[in-house]
Structure 1
Amino acid sequence: MGWENKVALVTGAGSGMGRASARELAARGATVVGLDYREDALEEVVRELPSGRAMAVTADVSDVEQVEEAVARAVKEFGRLDVVCNIAGIVDDATPTHEVPLDQWHRVVAVDLTGPFLVIRSALPYLLANGGGSIVNMASSAGLFAAGGGSPYTAAKHGLVGLTRRVALEYGGRGVRANAICPGYIATELNAAYRTPDPGNDFVAQAVAATPAGRWGTPEEVAQLVAFLAGDESRFVTGAVHTIDGGLLIR
């Protein structure tokens, strides 16, 4: 089945890696349903995609009713669902664990872990009805080690890796694949917020210094990996965790 017959749902499509992934999948011929809570940013991205083969759905991935409605709308509009890319996410502020406010913990886990679970749970019946499909979950290097964020973000991303493996185990025999991507330092709007005016405490420079490749990655590079895992070229790849970090984790 070629890309022209695939319908892909991409969460977090309004910016960063989600936006790049929506563009990449559309460029390959897929029909793309972009989901984001920011309506203006999402509409701007979807307007760039081929007319008649893209749709914007405004929703908060942590809200079960909004997620279920969004997935149902996508299937109603295009008749099927083949690919789910869970890319929406937020970060914490690396507050020490004993000082983490409960509302921060709940919000980060709700978006970064419960959100992908809700999307997957809603999408699985449609994927199974097609005889299978591909789920790509955007975890993080913080899903593999403990230095990529605070407790809420680290726990949520570790949990997302575990969720990916469980879904792959449960549904592999029914044609559904699930894989996780663990990016290192990627030059998105979200990460740019960490730059400080103090040259001695420049997060961007520190990230480059920690990365053997000597630079930040780009959202477009991550999108290439998303497309590979979403497509038929990777049909024997499931339950895997793929780093794309410029060598960050080999130090």
Structure 2
Amino acid sequence: MKQFENKVALVTGGSTGIGRATAIEFAKQGAKVVVADIVDSSETIAAIKAAGGEAIYVKTDVSKSADVKALVEKTVATYGSLDYAFNNAGVEMGGKLTADVDEAEFDKVISINLKGVWLGLKYQIPQMLKQGKGVIVNTSSTAGITGVPSLSAYTASKHGIIGLTQVAAIDYGKSGIRINAVIPGPIKTPMLEGTMGNSKSAKDKIESALVMGRLGEPQELANAVIFLCSDGASYVNGTALAVDGGWLAK
């Protein structure tokens, strides 16, 4: 029997990258999966079904309360429960000195990256309380641990996710709900590729700075999320697990 047989997993930001890899892995482990994103996720759904899994897509803007509330309601209405949630949706920002960032850009990054995680918790936790258990994993970043030059809003949002994760874990740890975060290092995703462009020199520069000399794969993050949701992590709560190839060790 697969470890998540008859369980239900919700993944935001599931159209590409880490979200897609994790949604597919949840399905491989037996879970029914709800994939949420503001953009079409048909490729993710197709990959899940091709692997013999079951999934639906729900268009969701994680910065909007009504959307996130409706997402959780749709999940429960379709599959009957919510056992695991991976709050992964996020956006990057252009590199600008702190005082040069437009207020609208700052608000957008905070609204999606940080408020979006909080809204996920706000609507996922009550359902898990009804069930008496559940696991939530939030996506932070190495920028949630250290400052990144010219990425003030992004860095602030990712720091905030770790603090939010810790407080929520304290608030609900005695209620059977575990809440943790993952800290991706440089991962081979469309977001990072968009930052690097088609520049081989930019990729080479990043890889040369990495302890392991290579970018991480989305599947490596998916494996970490699956572990945190598994019974093998039953005493792991309120932590931020770095999956960064040693980036933060330097």
AA in 2 matched with 1:207: I
- Counterpart-to-counterpart distance in 2, 1:18 and 1:159: 20
Give 2:63's aligned residue: 62
Q: What is the CA-CA distance between 1:113 and the residue it aligns to?
A: 0.3
**Where do 1:88-99 residues align within 5 Å?**
88-99=89-100
8 Å CA contact 2:188–2:218 kept in 1: the answer is: yes
Q: Bigger shift: 18-27 or 45-54?
A: 45-54
Give 1:37's aligned residue: 38
8 Å CA contact 2:97–2:150 kept in 1: the answer is: no
- Counterpart-to-counterpart distance in 1, 2:169 and 2:229: 14
CA RMSD of aligned residues (A): 1.6
**Where do 1:1-251 residues align within 5 Å?**
2-39=3-40, 42-50=41-49, 53-147=54-148, 150-196=151-197, 202-251=201-250
Q: What is the CA-CA distance between 1:221 and the residue it aligns to?
A: 0.6
Q: Bigger shift: 161-170 or 124-133?
A: 124-133
Q: Bigger shift: 15-24 or 231-240?
A: 231-240
| Paired residue total | 247
Q: Bigger shift: 120-129 or 203-212?
A: 203-212
Over the matched positions of the two proteins, sequence identity in percent amounts to 37
Q: What is the CA-CA distance between 1:203 and the residue it aligns to?
A: 2.9
Q: What is the CA-CA distance between 1:47 and the residue it aligns to?
A: 2.2
- Counterpart-to-counterpart distance in 1, 2:240 and 2:217: 19
AA in 1 matched with 2:25: E
Report the CA distance shift for 1:197/1:180 in structure 2 as closer, same or farther (over 3 A). closer
Q: What is the CA-CA distance between 1:94 and the residue it aligns to?
A: 2.0
- Counterpart-to-counterpart distance in 2, 1:101 and 1:240: 32
8 Å CA contact 2:30–2:53 kept in 1: the answer is: no
- Counterpart-to-counterpart distance in 2, 1:141 and 1:52: 32
Q: What is the CA-CA distance between 1:152 and the residue it aligns to?
A: 0.4
Equivalent position SS for 1:46: helix
- Counterpart-to-counterpart distance in 2, 1:234 and 1:98: 42
- Counterpart-to-counterpart distance in 2, 1:165 and 1:44: 33
Q: What is the CA-CA distance between 1:231 and the residue it aligns to?
A: 1.7
- Counterpart-to-counterpart distance in 1, 2:29 and 2:197: 38
Gaps of at least 5 residues in structure 1 are: none
Gaps of at least 5 residues in structure 2 are: none
8 Å CA contact 1:13–1:34 kept in 2: the answer is: yes
Q: What is the CA-CA distance between 1:154 and the residue it aligns to?
A: 0.2
Report the CA distance shift for 1:95/1:134 in structure 2 as closer, same or farther (over 3 A). same
Equivalent position SS for 2:178: strand
Report the CA distance shift for 1:197/1:46 in structure 2 as closer, same or farther (over 3 A). closer
Normalising by structure 2, we get a TM-score of: 0.95
Q: What is the CA-CA distance between 1:224 and the residue it aligns to?
A: 0.3
Q: What is the CA-CA distance between 1:48 and the residue it aligns to?
A: 2.2
Report the CA distance shift for 1:168/1:149 in structure 2 as closer, same or farther (over 3 A). farther
- Counterpart-to-counterpart distance in 2, 1:192 and 1:214: 17
